[in-house]
Homo-oligomer: A and B are copies of this chain.
Amino acid sequence: MEIKDAAQLLSALGHDARLSIFRLLVEAGPAGLNAGAISDALAMPPASASFHLAHLSRVGLIQGQRAHRFIHYSANFSSMDALIVFLTRNCCQGEACLPLTAACDTRGTRRVHMTGD
């Protein structure tokens, strides 16, 4: 990932409304939510939600898929993954600079409180 791509993703996430949407979809998991449910959940006018969904979609952080009359949006986890790797690559000269991230589960096995590892 290049600087420009990463900055584009970060800038897309750097807005209350869009970050709220993205977090909602991250928690919703692969099944996602439709546009109306998102705009309801966040008490946001549909036009505003659509504007931000389009933005997130354009940069690849989420994707939408139509099912009947609804469009289901879901987070693109691999793009978030790549972004985090970009942010932390070659970090901190080998020190243990990200203890919380390390303790946080990203593989399905819970290890919230590290005891020694």
Provided the pairs A88-B80, A100-B85 are in contact, do residues A10 and B13 lie with their beta carbons within 8 angstroms? Answer: yes
**Distance of A51 Cα from B98 Cα, bound (Å):** 27
- A102 in the interface, Cβ–Cβ < 8 Å? yes
Contacts of A88 in B (CB 8 A): 26, 80, 84, 101, 104, 106
Determine if A11 and B15 form an interchain contact, defined as CB atoms under 8 angstroms apart. yes
**Distance of A98 Cα from B107 Cα, bound (Å):** 7
**Distance of A10 Cα from B19 Cα, bound (Å):** 9
Q: Given A77-B98, A78-B100, A84-B104, 5 more contacts at CB 8 Å?
A: A4-B16, A8-B14, A26-B87, A81-B101, A84-B101
- Minimum-distance CB pairs A-B, first 7: A11-B14, A29-B93, A10-B14, A98-B106, A77-B97, A14-B14, A10-B13
